[in-house]
Amino acid sequence: MSLLQVPLSYGELLDKLTILEIKSERMHDAAKLVNVRDER
């Protein structure tokens, strides 16, 4: 996978990481969980 650099604020980054953390805690579908963990 190639890396993409996107300018964003620390607040936006923190929001994204928090949302992914909550999703990974609540998700039960293994395939979807892999995708969420890959995004982190």
For residue 15, is it within any domain? yes
Contacts of 33 (CB under 8 A, 6+ apart): 24, 27
- State the pTM of this model: 0.61
For residue 30, is it within any domain? yes
Could you report the per-residue pLDDT of 7-38, keeping only the tens digit for each?
Answer: 999 999 999 889 988 888 888 888 877 877 77
Residue for token digits 């992914």? 20
For residue 22, is it within any domain? yes
Domain residues for 33? 10-39
For residue 1, is it within any domain? no
**Number of domains making up the chain:** 1
pLDDT of residue 1: 65
- Of 38, 30, 33, 13, the residue nearest 22 (C-alpha): 33
